[in-house]
Amino acid sequence: MPWRGGWLPSTFFSACLMGLLLCATSGMATGHGPFALIRAIWEGSWGSVDAAITTLAKMTPLLLTGLAVAVAWRVNLLNIGCEGQLTLGALAAATFALQAESLPSWALIPLSAAVGAAIGALWSWPAVALKHFRGTHEVITTLILNYIATYLAEYLVLGPLGDGSAMGRTAQIPSGAVLKPVLSMGVPVAPFAGVLLCLVVQAWLSRNVWGYEVTVVGINRVAAETSGINARGWERRIFLFSGALAGMAGAIEVLGVHHRFYRAFSAGYGFDGVTTAFLVQGLPGMLWLSALLMASLRAADKWLQLALGVSPNMILVIQAGVLLAAVCRPAAVFFRRGRVPWK
């Protein structure tokens, strides 16, 4: 499994080097010089207080979807359905907040987030059920469920759950459901809570009997069952937990950023969660590092166009190169100690 033997810096360093190389090459190809894109990305993501706040806000869904992918992969299940789980979790959270607006803020916010998490877990259940009872690979079912979730959410916001306009959106959630920043200068608290959650999950996996059982199931399912561990039960529980994390990511986006659900809600956070997880070989305790990198790239896409006239899609090219470098790990020979920790 990708986590055994500790986090190897070669994966993340290789990805960063590839990103810098692509930035330099693209800058020269567009006539702006090798460091122009790097400078623009820095200015767009961290060059001002507002840019830094935007980057931190984009970090939260990447953290949670990355954690969702990481915990599912702990038991050798690949959750590609975070996009659909996030979408329906966001819609459920917005709908609940609108229906329960009479509740006090201290109850409405956590309950809305919990509803989003519950719907995310519920949407992940068919994939693991089909895996166990029909042998269908979870990658296929979760990808199909993504499309179903997207079109289902679109139908609902254009119909019974919409605000009556042709925009395809819900009404704005009540002020009592808004997740307000509690730090100075409007810095959101959600990314810091997300980092804390990642650290808690890492501690649970590495310093708990149940976490040990989960790790054994991922390393050798047959050996786990032989020793009396309920491998199927852990796969089911962990996959549902993965879906809950993705659904919570969507709920927090509604409560803390957009304050409503609208058609085409997600900016691809569910799929970026896969990159976020594998950049650090799926270690929950290190997800903050890859989420920060991915959020910085995402926050700078519009600034590239404003400052250099470069298409924001250049960020997607850089992300693709970063993911390829993380998968291939070309610098691993310089950093690795011992056996390659992949399956």
Q: Report how far residue 190's alpha carbon sits from residue 57's, in angstroms, rounded to the nearest whole number.
A: 8
Q: How far apart are CA 334 and CA 232, in angstroms?
A: 38
In this prediction, residue 282 carries a pLDDT of 86
What is the pLDDT at residue 6?
42
- In tens, the pLDDT along 79-106 reads 999 999 999 999 999 999 999 999 999 9
Q: How far apart are the first and last CA of the chain?
A: 5
* Low-confidence residues in the chain, pLDDT < 70: 1-10, 183-184, 329-343
Structural domains of the chain in order of their starting residue, each with its CATH number: 9-335 (1.10.3470)
What pLDDT does residue 339 have?
43
Q: What is the pLDDT of residue 244?
A: 97
pLDDT at 9: 57
3-state secondary structure of 262: strand
What confidence score (pLDDT) does residue 329 get?
60
For residue 184, the model assigns a pLDDT of: 66
Angle made by CA atoms 268, 80, 322, in degrees to the nearest 5: 60
Amino acid, res. 191 = P
Q: How far is CA 300 from CA 25, 101, 247, 308, in A?
A: 18, 35, 26, 12
pLDDT at 310: 84
